[in-house]
Amino acid sequence: MADDGGRPAGGGAQHNGNRDAAIHTRLKEGSLKLYELEKELSPVDAIRIRREYIQQETGTKLDNIGIFSIDVERVVKRNCENMIGTVQVPVGVAGPLLVNGEHAHGHYYLPLATTEGALVASVNRGCSAITKAGGAEVRILHDGMTRAPVFATRSIAHAKQVVDWVAAHGEELRAAAESTTSHGKLIDIQPFVAGTSAYFRMGFDTKDAMGMNMVTIASAKVAELIAQGTGAKLVALSGNMCTDKKPAAINGIMGRGRSVVAGIALSHDIISSVFKTNAATLFEVNYRKNLVGSARAGAMGFNAHAANIVAAMFIACGQDAAHAIDGSTCLTTVDPTPTGVYVSVTLPSLPVGTVGGGTGVDTQQECLKLLGVAGGGNPPGTNAKKLAEIIASGVLAGELSLLGALAAQHLARAHQQLGRG
């Protein structure tokens, strides 16, 4: 085991007792803030002293949180403020999964970070079925990260003038946006008006980055020009028409991030041998549960548990875990065929990247390397698309397995065997 940056337990950083005591006193007095520790200490020492202070203040031992192997020099600058350690999430592997995409080709082992018993086993069974059937077909339908600032206008007539001005100055706005980044490209600007509020949903090609920081900075430049050119008042750089980290029909309709579809044709033999059910029952479970049940509930996603796989792979691969909400907008369909069924998943909003954010954290970087997508692709953008195709294939595996378990009435038994704790 190791503590504070991978050093052997008990043989960590040199502890200066007098210095540490003085810092604890200043923290207690309020003359030094917790977030200021890195200004006076190395990241490893700042993390340790901050954790010790929290332990003293709360009376809670944080021994396990202080055990980690990641390089904190990078993390405290880019990923986490007021760091006191790490929380470890078990990572299981499902596969091999055969993927036949435009960017992902071959067999992959999927890293799934989860504490939900039975999830990895379930995805693993879906992977087996897909691989036996010849591999998942996967395609990227749309690629574009969005940001949508909102402007206050004087009247509805003025709102329409603002919309017309933006349409007439597209090239100028595009040049302004792209002057802020060496990678991002402004694809389009979609206007939306609600009374005197005008929203402009900007879509960007962010290459291998998920791209939220990139598009936010670029959108700020565009918004500045719109305000100057039209007299509209910029109210907020994000007007919730983006839509980021919230359930929204617009993402399902227009797409956000990588929009991906994955499908597999299953024969009667595979349905029977792997899932212990038949094509007609599989179809009916999907129809009455995923389609009718979701519609009756007013759900924005029509699937069995797509967010489970999205979240597990996002956490393992350094993606923004809050974007798992986008994965829940997945639509799962089962089409009867003469030889069995064709099962597909449509994920219209899958914001993923292989550079930036949490992708550089050591453990998450290893998971990306496991999939062969770490860092920038050649040409740029191909690694992020490849990751999106692999995740969509994993979602397909998860949907297949859960539908099969429900069709065969095996769900409760699986959770009794694997998910109790």
Which tokens go with 194?
A: 């609600």
Enumerate helices (H) and strands (E) in the chain, giving the number of each.
16, 12
- Do residues 198 and 150 make contact, with C-beta atoms less than 8 angstroms apart? yes
Residue carrying the six token digits 């010790």: 52
Q: What angle do CA 276, 281, 282 make, to 5 degrees?
A: 75
Residue 152 pairs with which residues in a beta bridge? 197, 233
Q: Catalytic annotation on 116?
A: yes
Q: Which of 38, 137, 320, 389 is catalytic?
A: 320
- Could you tell me which residues come within 8 angstroms of residue 30 by beta carbon, excluding any fewer than 6 positions away? none
Report how far apart, in Å, the C-alpha atoms of 204 and of each of 173, 185, 262, 319, 383 are: 13, 5, 23, 18, 17
Q: Catalytic annotation on 36?
A: no
Q: Which of 20, 116, 205, 362 is catalytic?
A: 116
- Contacts made by residues 7-10, CB under 8 angstroms, sequence distance 24+: 9/67
Name the residue among 277, 305, 405 with its Cα closest to residue 415: 405
- Residue 104 in 3-state DSSP? coil
Q: Is the peptide bond before 243 cis (omega within 30 degrees of 0)?
A: yes
- Could you tell me which residues come within 8 angstroms of residue 299 by beta carbon, excluding any fewer than 6 positions away? none
Q: What DSSP string describes 221-284?
A: HHHHHHHHHH-PEEEES--SSS--SS--HHHHHH-EEEEEEEEEEEEHHHHHHHHSS-HHHHHH
Q: What DSSP string describes 348-382?
A: EEE---SBSGGGGSHHHHHHHHHHT--S--SSTTH
Q: Catalytic annotation on 164?
A: no
Amino acid, res. 252 = G
Active site residues: 116, 320, 415
